Amino acid sequence: MGAAAVALAGFVTFGLFIAPSPAGHGTHEKLGLPPCMTMKVLGIPCPGCGVTTSVALATRGHELAALRNQPFGFFVAIVGALLIPWALWGHFRGRDLWVELRRMTTRRVLIAVGLLALFSWWWKIYLELWS
């Protein structure tokens, strides 16, 4: 779990070192990744558009902007931040974070996360096309 805590801390803190794109998406391109092909070809965001931007916003303390930009990205940032102390606590108790998470993951949790992802995608499409 110590390695999990370090990995999670790295994931959350990377947002401090990458400036969020003012467009609300495309921040991942600063990491050397290609532009979103769905946006490029179809003119609509993919389900992941804006997640990196929202994580970067949330790690800078702009929670409302992160939530507005991409709710699933805000969720990812918050859950990632909350898992760090849990992973450390588990490490000192000799428990594995991934085993603990698998034990807690139920069908309801997966459905809720999936619905949040779908809602967030709809929201991102709305922001890009109609706001």
Task: Say what the pTM is.
Answer: 0.83
Structural domains counted in the chain: 1
Q: Give the pLDDT confidence score for residue 1 in this predicted structure.
A: 52
Burial 37-61 (b: 16+ CB within 10 A, else e): eebeeeeebbbbbbbbbbbbbbbee
pLDDT by 10s per residue, the chain, length 131: 556 666 667 766 777 788 999 999 999 998 899 999 999 999 999 999 999 999 999 989 999 999 999 999 999 999 888 887 877 787 788 887 777 777 777 888 889 999 999 999 999 999 999 87
Domain range for 77 is: 2-130
Q: Would you call 75 exposed, middle or buried from its count of C-beta atoms within 10 A (0-12, 13-18, 19+)?
A: buried
